[in-house]
């Protein structure tokens, strides 16, 4: 869907936004009400837990009397601790003693879920009854029912929860966990399952606002001419191979980038810094690209949805005896057998950076950020990003190892939305006016959505800065891919507002509410878009690009007998 005119007659993006918004509402009625991205919806749930605690001996009448007093006097204050004022926590609705077993039923809310209340009860009883030589040997949740009035397909629930829970009712939705042990509670299995369920419910919920499908075009430049060879649009990757600007590396989706292409990439990177990032107050940091496993466990959605696209790192330790057989064969046979390595590897212990912003969130994890230093705005352009594309590699468009400039920021909700918009505005105008590319801005999908899921959803684009749109994509037209109407445009920027997704996951703290945002400049994709538009002859490039490119030295590629 295209909400723009061919040539938008507006002086500012803000005016364009108002125009786009005026076109949207009539489109909403054409979509079924179940297909929405409910990105920020409060999901209410009611909980009922039935379980037991096993003591080390049977309880006599005196023990039961003391237990009753504890449940009446001390449990309520334990079950309200940490619950927001005016909200309900958990409460014991039924209990009885059978020998050495305390059978119990606990009702609760999301402010204190019954499984957490059960652990609090255990600790309280251990402290209060120890003088009577009463201890607790075991506990178990026999059934844990969770009810919500929000509708979600039972098949989606089963897909999320697997065999850990069953659907007892569809309307209202009631699910039940059964036969949970103490280690299941302490491992946060229930919490993670409910987080996944809540996410699915939020996606099914219907938000208010001006709703459009993912992929809707918000802004676009005028149509522009493009480079050709013998009257045909050029494929920059293929032509770069012929000219010796890039050379295939043995690894799938990897390239050696030689001086002419490397110089152009560096020029584009420096221009992004000078035209966009530095004027907006961003400062350069350098992030590690080898990310520890426990950091990635805190990256929401990556293991759950992108596990097959990650590059996992193993090692053999530093034991001199490690890989002895492998080293012997390599020395005597001059042959390296990977099977001899695999059986001695430890891990995986790390993952090669697939997002490039992971260290930023870890940097603030557990720290307290004062409001006066907000917003924190940084970028990293120190190295590669890695994603396993399998059979989907294509030239410089889809590679396993690609060069990006990652921008990431932390601030109040208003600051984060404003920064995202400033970046989108400046980047769009830089691409249009300075690099003279044909680009468009579209409504993007959250990273955790598949293409199929994204095609079924609507997104709220109300507000001048699109505060409810999780991602604004900027895409470039590649003429060799086909017509503008039918070809898949190349995404070169994804500018995101995460809200509290990473703040919560990494336990980022501040003395005010904070969100995060990020923006990736796909520099190797910038190369393709630029060369498809302007060709390989510097004299045909925009003046600033040409002057920077030829300024310090003339890039050259060595001419070998057999290459290029």
pLDDT digit string, tens, across residues 516-557: 999 999 999 999 999 999 999 999 999 999 999 998 788 999
**Across 219-244, average pLDDT:** 96
**Does residue 13 surpass a pLDDT of 80?**
no
Domain containing residue 89: 46-204
**Does residue 26 surpass a pLDDT of 60?**
no
pLDDT of residue 15: 53
- Sole residue written with tokens 């190349």: 490
**Does residue 206 surpass a pLDDT of 60?**
no
Q: Grade residue 9 by pLDDT with cuts at 50, 70 and 90.
A: very low
- Sole residue written with tokens 């990556």: 302
Provide the CA 447 distance to its chain's centre, in angstroms: 5
Range of weakest confidence among 22-36, 132-146, 484-498: 22-36
- Asked whether residue 436 falls in the same domain as residue 402, the answer is yes
Q: Grade residue 115 by pLDDT with cuts at 50, 70 and 90.
A: very high
pLDDT of residue 40: 37
Alpha-carbon distance of 422 to 424, in angstroms, equals: 6
- Asked whether residue 300 falls in the same domain as residue 360, the answer is yes
- Asked whether residue 306 falls in the same domain as residue 394, the answer is yes
Residue 178: inside a domain: yes
Q: Grade residue 4 by pLDDT with cuts at 50, 70 and 90.
A: low
Residue 552: inside a domain: no
Residue 145: inside a domain: yes
Pairing of strands 101-108, 91-98: antiparallel
- Asked whether residue 161 falls in the same domain as residue 196, the answer is yes
**Across 466-479, average pLDDT:** 93
**Does residue 164 surpass a pLDDT of 90?**
no
pLDDT of residue 20: 45
Pairing of strands 217-220, 228-229: unpaired
**Does residue 111 surpass a pLDDT of 70?**
yes
**Does residue 239 surpass a pLDDT of 60?**
yes
274 against 342, higher pLDDT: 274
Of 174, 204, 234, the residue at which a domain comes to its end is 204
Residue 358: inside a domain: yes
pLDDT of residue 316: 87
- Asked whether residue 216 falls in the same domain as residue 198, the answer is no
- Cis ω before 564 (30° cut-off from 0): yes
- Asked whether residue 388 falls in the same domain as residue 467, the answer is yes
Alpha-carbon distance of 396 to 443, in angstroms, equals: 24
Question: DSSP letter at 468?
Answer: T
Of 177, 204, 231, the residue at which a domain comes to its end is 204
- Asked whether residue 114 falls in the same domain as residue 247, the answer is no
pLDDT of residue 39: 38
- Asked whether residue 386 falls in the same domain as residue 268, the answer is yes
- What is the maximal distance between C-alpha atoms in the chain? 98
186 against 428, higher pLDDT: 428
CATH number at residue 260: 3.30.930.10
- Asked whether residue 368 falls in the same domain as residue 453, the answer is yes
- Asked whether residue 53 falls in the same domain as residue 173, the answer is yes
- Sole residue written with tokens 């723009």: 4
In the three-class reduction of DSSP (H, G, I as helix; E, B as strand; rest coil), residue 257 is classed as: strand
Of 204, 229, 256, the residue at which a domain comes to its end is 204
Q: Grade residue 313 by pLDDT with cuts at 50, 70 and 90.
A: very high
Alpha-carbon distance of 27 to 6, in angstroms, equals: 20
Provide the CA 209 distance to its chain's centre, in angstroms: 24
Q: Which H, E and C letters describe 336-398, residue by residue?
A: CCHHHHHCCCEEEEEEECCCCCHHHHHHHECCEECHHHCCEEEEECCCEEECCCHHHCECCCE
pLDDT of residue 103: 96
In the three-class reduction of DSSP (H, G, I as helix; E, B as strand; rest coil), residue 510 is classed as: strand
**Does residue 14 surpass a pLDDT of 80?**
no
The chain-wide mean pLDDT, for the chain, equals 88
**Across 24-32, average pLDDT:** 38
Q: Grade residue 250 by pLDDT with cuts at 50, 70 and 90.
A: very high
Query: Phi and psi for 28 in degrees, rounded to 5?
Result: -60, -40
- Asked whether residue 191 falls in the same domain as residue 231, the answer is no
- Asked whether residue 469 falls in the same domain as residue 436, the answer is yes
Q: Structurally, how many domains does the chain consist of?
A: 2
**Does residue 35 surpass a pLDDT of 60?**
no
Residue 559: inside a domain: no
Phi-psi region of 162 (alpha: psi -120 to 50; beta: other; left: phi over 0): left
Range of weakest confidence among 83-97, 186-200, 355-369, 546-560: 186-200
Residue 337: inside a domain: no
CATH number at residue 166: 3.30.70.1920
Q: Grade residue 110 by pLDDT with cuts at 50, 70 and 90.
A: confident
- Give the rounded percent of residues in the chain with a pLDDT score beyond 70: 89
pLDDT of residue 369: 95
pLDDT of residue 3: 59
Q: Grade residue 201 by pLDDT with cuts at 50, 70 and 90.
A: low
pLDDT of residue 113: 92
Alpha-carbon distance of 553 to 320, in angstroms, equals: 47
Residue 500: inside a domain: yes
Residue 327: inside a domain: no
Q: Grade residue 152 by pLDDT with cuts at 50, 70 and 90.
A: confident
Per-residue pLDDT tens digits for 369-404? 999 999 999 999 998 999 998 778 999 999 999 999
Would you say 110 and 53 are in contact if contact means Cβ atoms under 8 Å apart?
no
């Amino acid at each position: 869907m295209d909400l723009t005119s061919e040539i938008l007659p507006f002086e500012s993006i803000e005016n364009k936004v108002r125009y786009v918004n005026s076109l949207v509402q009539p489109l909403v009625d054409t979509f079924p009400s179940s297909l929405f991205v409910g990105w920020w919806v409060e999901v209410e749930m009611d909980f009922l837990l039935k379980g037991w605690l096993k003591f080390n001996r049977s309880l006599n009448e005196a023990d039961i009397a003391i237990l009753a007093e504890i449940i009446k006097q001390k449990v309520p204050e334990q079950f309200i601790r940490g619950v927001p004022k005016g909200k309900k926590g958990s409460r014991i609705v039924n209990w009885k003693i059978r020998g050495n077993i305390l059978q119990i039923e606990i009702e609760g809310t999301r402010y204190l879920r019954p499984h957490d209340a059960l652990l609090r009860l255990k600790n309280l009883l251990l402290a209060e009854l120890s003088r009577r030589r009463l201890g607790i040997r075991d506990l178990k949740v026999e059934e844990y029912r969770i009810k919500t009035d929000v509708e979600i397909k039972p098949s989606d629930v089963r897909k999320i929860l697997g065999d850990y829970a069953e659907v007892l009712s569809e309307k209202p939705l009631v699910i039940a966990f059964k036969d949970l042990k103490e280690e299941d509670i302490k491992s946060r299995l229930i919490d993670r399952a409910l987080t996944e369920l809540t996410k699915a419910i939020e996606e099914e919920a219907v938000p208010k606002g001006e709703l459009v499908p993912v992929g809707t075009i918000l802004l676009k430049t005028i149509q522009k001419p493009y480079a050709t060879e013998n009257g045909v649009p050029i494929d920059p990757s293929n032509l770069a191979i012929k000219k010796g600007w890039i050379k295939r590396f043995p690894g799938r989706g990897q390239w050696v980038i030689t001086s002419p292409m490397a110089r152009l990439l560096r020029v584009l990177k420096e221009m992004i810094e000078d035209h966009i990032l530095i004027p907006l107050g961003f400062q350069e940091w350098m992030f590690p690209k080898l990310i520890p496993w426990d950091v990635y466990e805190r990256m929401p959605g990556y293991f759950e949805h992108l596990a097959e696209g990650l590059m996992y790192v193993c090692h053999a330790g530093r034991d001199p005896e490690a890989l002895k057989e492998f080293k012997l064969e390599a020395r005597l046979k001059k042959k390296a057998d990977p099977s001899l390595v695999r059986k001695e590897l430890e891990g995986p212990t790390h993952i090669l950076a697939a997002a490039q912003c992971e260290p930023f969130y870890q940097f603030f994890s557990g720290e307290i950020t004062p409001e006066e230093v907000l917003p924190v705005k940084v970028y990293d352009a120190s190295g590669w990003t890695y994603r396993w594309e399998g059979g989907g590699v294509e030239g410089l468009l889809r590679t396993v190892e690609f060069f990006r400039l990652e921008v990431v920021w932390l601030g109040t909700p208003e600051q984060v939305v404003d920064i995202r918009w400033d970046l989108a505005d400046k980047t769009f105008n830089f691409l249009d006016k300075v690099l003279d590319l044909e680009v468009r801005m579209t409504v993007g999908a959250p990273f955790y959505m598949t293409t199929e899921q994204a095609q079924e959803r609507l997104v709220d684009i109300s507000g001048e800065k699109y505060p409810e749109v999780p991602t604004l994509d900027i895409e470039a037209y590649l003429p060799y891919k086909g017509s503008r109407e039918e070809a898949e445009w190349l995404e070169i920027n994804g500018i995101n507002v995460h809200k509290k997704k990473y703040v919560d996951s990494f336990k980022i703290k501040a003395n005010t509410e904070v969100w995060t945002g990020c923006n990736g400049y796909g520099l190797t994709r910038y190369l393709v878009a630029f060369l498809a538009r302007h060709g390989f002859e510097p004299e045909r490039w925009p003046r600033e690009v040409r002057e920077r490119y030829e300024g310090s030295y003339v890039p050259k590629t060595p001419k070998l007998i057999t290459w290029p």
